[in-house]
Structure 1
Amino acid sequence: MDNRLQFNIACKFQENRGFPNVIGAIDGTHIQITPPAEHPQAYVNRKSYHSIVLQCVCLHDTSFSNCFIGWPGSVHDARVLKNSDLWNEGQNICADHHILGDGAYPLKNWLLTPYRDNGHLTAEQKRYNFIHASTRAVIERAFGLLKGRFRRLHYLETKKLQTSCDIGIACCVLHNFCIKHGDNGDEFVEEQFEYINNDIAMGAVDETGSAKRDRIARNLH
């Protein structure tokens, strides 16, 4: 993604709630599948059905800029991310910009998450969390459009996992094609009733990400 394109995307995101330098919002959604022959229990998610995870980064217009699919439904969002190419390439892709993710993801310089609500957040941190969530909400709308437009994604009855993965990615590509050609799909929007993963991704504190988040929080109005 070149600098001019990043600048234009960031401007569009900032027009929403004022969050600066955002070039995408990340989340995962579950696609129900037929229980696979090998290790079926690994694919049972927290809502007790078999699924694979589709991880996506979307832009301001709900089109997808990055997709990764195939990990079992029982796997935590942070682990899915760490096994995708985005984990290793995120800093190079984002440069001075960043992607927004929920608290299930680790805080990085290129991936900004909310402050953990321990009951003692400052007004500044609460404002940051609110604006962060409002800006990031586009990914939920993108998934709602995707599954509303391609209803087969509610349940993929295929014999091979690779076929399910191929169908998922093909639907994302077709979704982007529709957005590019002016079909915003408003009539297809579905509410997303999936469980919300409130687990906080634990691990070493990323000092650059923490400092960046604090700096942005101080300047949000």
Structure 2
Amino acid sequence: MEESEPEYIYGWWENLDEEEFQITFRMSKKTCISLQAELDDVEGIDNESSDTFLLCCLWILGNTLPFKDAGPMFDIEDNIEVILAQYLKKISALGETYLAWPTDEEAAEIEEGFLKKYHFPGVVGVIGSLHINVLPDGKQSLYYNTEMDKHTIILQVVCDNHLLLRDVCAGCPGGKDIQTILRSSPLFKKLTDDDSYLIKNNKHLLGGTEHPQMRTLLTPYKGKDLNEKQSKFNVLHNSVMYTVEKTFCYIQSRFPRLTCMDNLHPHLATLLVSAACVLHNFTRVRGESNEFYTDTE
């Protein structure tokens, strides 16, 4: 005997208390209203309540349950993936505001923050990359990573000392190496342009061993026979690099869908990742912690 789908009363989310709402939609009611207002403002809409489609998107990002479960929950009869893609694009468009490269003044504040916490001078950001599993489509695919034996998309980010994302490049095929992705991304111009803040002010990002060593991108010393100075540099470098690992942890804990996209087409997976990055910053600048989703903040 087949189990019948549970019945949901339309608007059930309005009866959630603050904690239940945060756990379900990964942000406070107040922040959700602010998000809806900014999305509506872009389209010139006057809407005093949260759009059902927005809540559906947030719910999908906030758990790993099948997409089909969202239909009856939010009374949506249309194709969930089509609606989801449309709304994720609207959220991602806010990236022009919330994923902005720091101004010169902000960069100076970021440098001061890194210096105060880690005693590492001249750092205005940390670059990192994350592989996210997607739907397999043959081992000749650009998305197939031979070393991992998985199909992935790569998320490349630069984060600051407050764990805010300052540059995002999402959806690169997992079969490409990290250096190739960096060199083909808009970030590379910021690292090499003589008029960039980094070069003009002799500042730099920190990157991992997979990144190229550059005047504006410092990577660890390689090899086993390092002298004491080089070893100390690597220890300090590694401690600062933890910033980007913590940022990835926070994004994935707030939006666990990013850990469960093995059955999604790379295009839809990329939209989910892009929207999650925007929402990470959107919630963080409003003082929302990860206390509901992680053990430590």
Q: TM-score range by the shorter chain?
A: 0.7 to 0.9
**Does residue 94 in structure 1 map to residue 195 in structure 2?**
no
Pairing 1:36-75 to 2, within 5 Å after superposition: 36=137, 39-40=140-141, 42-75=143-176
Q: TM-score with structure 1 length normalisation?
A: 0.78
For 1:189 and 1:108, the matched residues in 2 are separated by 35
Amino acid at match of 1:166: L
Please name the residue that 2:264 is paired with.
Answer: 158
Please name the residue that 2:252 is paired with.
Answer: 147
Q: What is the SS of the residue equivalent to 2:150?
A: coil
Q: How many residues align?
A: 188
**Does residue 125 in structure 1 map to residue 235 in structure 2?**
no
For 1:89 and 1:20, the matched residues in 2 are separated by 19
For 1:144 and 1:45, the matched residues in 2 are separated by 24
For 1:168 and 1:186, the matched residues in 2 are separated by 21
For 2:106 and 2:177, the matched residues in 1 are separated by 31
For 2:210 and 2:107, the matched residues in 1 are separated by 25
CA 1:72–1:168: 2 relative to 1, 3 Å? same
Amino acid at match of 2:208: D
For 2:236 and 2:161, the matched residues in 1 are separated by 15
CA contact (8 A) 1:45 1:51 kept: no
CA 1:141–1:105: 2 relative to 1, 3 Å? same
CA offset at residue 42 of structure 1? Answer: 4.1
Amino acid at match of 1:104: E
Please name the residue that 1:215 is paired with.
Answer: none
- The alignment yields a C-alpha RMSD, in angstroms, of 2.0
Q: What do the CA deviations read for 1:69-116 (whole angstroms, capped 9, x no partner)?
A: 222223221111111111122241423211000111001111011111
For 1:47 and 1:78, the matched residues in 2 are separated by 17
CA offset at residue 47 of structure 1? Answer: 2.7
Please name the residue that 2:279 is paired with.
Answer: 174
For 1:73 and 1:46, the matched residues in 2 are separated by 10
CA contact (8 A) 1:45 1:73 kept: no
Please name the residue that 1:195 is paired with.
Answer: none
Amino acid at match of 1:133: N
CA contact (8 A) 2:142 2:176 kept: no
Q: What is the SS of the residue equivalent to 1:188?
A: coil
Amino acid at match of 2:172: W
CA contact (8 A) 1:21 1:97 kept: yes
For 2:242 and 2:146, the matched residues in 1 are separated by 23
CA contact (8 A) 2:156 2:169 kept: yes
Q: Percent identity?
A: 27
**Does residue 80 in structure 1 map to residue 181 in structure 2?**
yes
**Does residue 24 in structure 1 map to residue 130 in structure 2?**
no
